[in-house]
Amino acid sequence: MKKIALLYNQELEKYKYAEYHPLKRERIIYTMQKIKKYSKGVYENFIAEPASLEEMSLYHGEDYIRYLYEIENDKTKYIPNKYGIGTTDNPYFKGIFSTSAIHIGAVNLAADLIVKENYSDVFYFPGGLHHAKKNQAWGFCFVNDPVYAILRLLNYKKKVLYVDIDAHFCDGVACAFKNNPVNKKDLLIMSFHESGDFLFPGTGYIEENDSINFPLYPGTDDHTYLLNFKKVFDTVFDEFQPDVIIAQIGADSSKFDILSHLDLSLKGYLNIIKIISEKNVNKIWLGGGGYNNKFTSCAWSSAFRLVLGDIKAGDIKHNIKDLKAFNYAEKNYDFLAKNILLKPKLSEHLD
What's the average model confidence in pLDDT over 74-102? Answer: 98
In this predicted structure, the answer to whether residue 122 has a pLDDT above a threshold of 80 is: yes
Phi, psi of 55, rounded to the nearest 5 degrees: -65, -40
What's the rounded mean pLDDT across residues 118-131? 98
By the 8 A CB rule, do 151 and 115 touch?
no
Q: Is the pLDDT of residue 340 over 90?
A: no
Q: How many domains does the chain have?
A: 1
Catalytic residue, from 60, 131, 223, 261: name it. Answer: 131
User: Is the pLDDT confidence value at 349 over 90?
Assistant: no
Q: What percentage of residues in the chain have a pLDDT greater than 90?
A: 95
Per-residue pLDDT tens for 295-314? 999 999 999 999 999 999 99
Question: pLDDT category, 174, cuts 50, 70, 90?
Answer: very high
Torsion (CA) 178, 181, 184, 190 in degrees, nearest 10:
-30
Q: Convert 130-148 to b/e letters by CB count within 10 Å (16 or more is b).
A: bbbbeebbbbbbbbbbbbb
Q: Which amino acid is present at 290?
A: G
Output the pLDDT for position 223: 98
Give the helix/strand (H/E) hosting 225: helix 222-240
- Residues 11/105, Cβ–Cβ less than 8 Å: no
What mean pLDDT is predicted for residues 36-61? 98
Q: What is the mean pLDDT of the chain?
A: 96
Answer whether residue 336 shows pLDDT above 60: yes
Q: Which band of pLDDT confidence, cut at 50, 70 and 90, is reported for residue 315?
A: very high
pLDDT at position 1:
82
Find the domain containing 109 and state its range.
4-350
∠81-13-130 over CA atoms, to 5°? 50
Weakest-pLDDT range from 49-53, 163-167, 182-186, 254-258: 182-186
142 pLDDT band (50/70/90 cuts)?
A: very high
- Judge whether residue 215 has pLDDT over 60: yes
> What's the mean pLDDT in 131-145?
98
CATH number of the domain that 104 lies in? Answer: 3.40.800.20
Cis ω for the linkage preceding 242 (within 30 of 0): no
**DSSP state letters, 117-141:** S--SEEEETT------BTTB-BTTB
Whether 131 is catalytic is: yes
Sign of the four-CA dihedral 102, 108, 111, 116? negative
DSSP result, 65-92: HHHHHHHHH-GGG--TTGGGTTSSSS--
